Structure 1
Amino acid sequence: MRWAANLSMLYSRLPVEQRAAAAARDGYSYVETWWPFAQSAPATEEIDHFCSTLRHAGVRLAALNLDAGDPSSGERGLLTDPNHEIRVRTNLESAVEILADTKCSILNALYGNRIDGQDPGYQDRLALRRLVGIADRVAELGVTVVVETLNAIDSPRFPLTDIGDTAALVTEAIAQSGHGNIGLLLDTYHLQTMGVDPVIAIGEYGPLIRHVQFADSPGRGRPGTGHIDFYCVTQALEAIGYSGFIGLEYDPSPQG
């Protein structure tokens, strides 16, 4: 298994420019991150500086999130929001700069919450169109776009809280895409919180899984602090021939 330290969770107390070096000191060769800028479309100089912190630390970027808004205020992505067409497009171009510089091969496109006053069906069609467009845009870079199932407790307005629904979306997006570079992000914490055994989910949706994240449940703490049997999870991943990265996206605090 290739482990990738999630810079946004494990090193959240450090400034962004210090996180890669901290991960390297802890022995990690691979990292992943949420969108690391305050703006959706930062200046090229900011992007270059971020990428240089990875190079200088000697770590490889395994996965990058697109702009998802402000997670602390409950925002969970932009794809469903009709008001963010320009923001989605310009953010994607900034992400392309990072992907090209770092050779990162996984891009996490967070779906987005339900928007009040908008038809849910329209939101889903819009998100599908944007997802396919994002995948087609990054295909030439060898990048796979992944979609994540969250849990309804932490994200009550997020529509993709059933991995079956997420898999159906991914399957439809693959059918509409010109390249098929779309897959599932399987997060053990979110699944277990929804009462789904990650081992069973891996067995059922294995062909679609392109990225995995580990955190225990309850609490989103370090593996071993909750009820998930991570030995069985890793065995299930090996059984399906999973060869991607496992992002460590957990709360490192003692109570986490």
Structure 2
Amino acid sequence: MLKFNAHLGFQFNEWPFLQRIEAAAAAGFRAVEFPSPYEFDASLLADHLALHSLSLIQFAAPAGVTKGIAALQGKEEEFRDGLRQAVSYAKALACSDVHIMSGVTTQDEAALTFGSNLEYAVKYFEDQGLRPLIEVISAQAMPDYYMSDFNKAHQVLERFASVGLILDLYHAQLLTGDAAGVLARFYDRTVHVQIADCPGRHEPGTGSMDFAALFAALEQRGYPGWIGCEYRPSGATVASLDWIKQLST
């Protein structure tokens, strides 16, 4: 049985952030994700998650205004400071997976900077019992984002055995037109899947993606991880969850 978690950056936006945790639990979710916990005290978030019996699947290291800083030359000290903050939150929130966002940049040295920073993060996280994650985000959704190519992701995964991949099937479809093919190619390194239909980035069933086939492929492989609902509900969030109910019947 596939497991779906709420994405509180996209879903339940009808409520203030802390109330989204309660709303996700009331809707039947047992886990959540959100990119940036740093606006709140870690113990406050931990208490809210525990109160509603929710696990946190993954979050991002501090990303700044550039959607990450790992590939930005001149931000190395800020990047390392951010990793220390991420470790503090990860331990408080009982979450072992931290997304290292590359950032929006056109710097010529971006590849070298990203590789160097990621090497540091891998070693540091290993000592802390955490796992760094990367994600390919399409240029259509985020222009000039450095990690916007699955070939770049392949190079990173080849270099760092402990790095996991967040595979967002929406971005895969936008970039390649073949989300199923990307899933087959990267399944062995995928530790978390995210979904939204394409076009539109709404819930499954609102676009042209074949989620029945994608979910079947994950089930056939015995995918053990979570599937994050990183989509913009086409209406009220709870109403947008009917597709999950249909999978369960």
- Looking at structure 1, the residues matched to 150 and 44 of structure 2 have their Cα atoms a distance apart, in angstroms, of 36
Kept in 1, the 8 Å contact 2:99–2:134? The answer is: yes
Of 192, 199, 218, the residue aligned with 1:218 is 199
Kindly tell me the number of residue pairs found equivalent between the two proteins.
236
Aligned to 2:152: 165
Aligned to 2:75, what secondary structure does the other structure show? helix
Q: Give runs of aligned pairs for residues 149-164 of structure 1, distance below 5 A.
A: 149-164=136-151
Q: Give runs of aligned pairs for residues 64-213 of structure 1, distance below 5 A.
A: 64-70=59-65, 75-115=66-106, 118=107, 120=108, 122-172=109-159, 174=160, 180-213=161-194
Aligned to 1:94, what secondary structure does the other structure show? helix
Deviates further, 222-231 or 12-21? 12-21
- Looking at structure 1, the residues matched to 27 and 83 of structure 2 have their Cα atoms a distance apart, in angstroms, of 31
Is structure 2 residue 24 aligned with structure 1 residue 33? Answer: no
Deviation string 1:107-129 (CA, Å, 9 cap, x unpaired) is 111111224xx4x2x22111112
Aligned to 1:247, what secondary structure does the other structure show? strand
Over 3 Å counting, the alpha-carbon distance change for 1:114 and 1:252 in structure 2 is: same
Over 3 Å counting, the alpha-carbon distance change for 1:227 and 1:99 in structure 2 is: same
- Looking at structure 1, the residues matched to 126 and 177 of structure 2 have their Cα atoms a distance apart, in angstroms, of 32
Kept in 2, the 8 Å contact 1:80–1:111? The answer is: yes
Is structure 2 residue 222 aligned with structure 1 residue 227? Answer: no
Q: Give runs of aligned pairs for residues 55-66 of structure 1, distance below 5 A.
A: 55-66=50-61
Counterpart AA for 2:207: G
What runs of 5+ residues in structure 1 fail to find an aligned partner?
175-179
C-alpha deviation, 1:162, in angstroms? 2.3
Kept in 2, the 8 Å contact 1:5–1:31? The answer is: yes
Kept in 1, the 8 Å contact 2:170–2:197? The answer is: yes
Deviation string 1:176-213 (CA, Å, 9 cap, x unpaired) is xxxx3202111011111123311111111221111110
C-alpha deviation, 1:63, in angstroms? 1.1
C-alpha deviation, 1:87, in angstroms? 2.5
Aligned to 2:244: none
C-alpha deviation, 1:148, in angstroms? 0.8
C-alpha deviation, 1:141, in angstroms? 4.8
Aligned to 2:224: 243
> Between the two proteins, what is the percent identity of the paired residues?
28
Aligned to 2:13: 12
What runs of 5+ residues in structure 2 fail to find an aligned partner?
241-249
TM-score by length of 1: 0.84
Over 3 Å counting, the alpha-carbon distance change for 1:167 and 1:86 in structure 2 is: same
Kept in 2, the 8 Å contact 1:106–1:211? The answer is: no
RMSD value over aligned CA atoms?
Answer: 2.1
Kept in 2, the 8 Å contact 1:143–1:181? The answer is: no
C-alpha deviation, 1:239, in angstroms? 3.5
C-alpha deviation, 1:28, in angstroms? 0.6
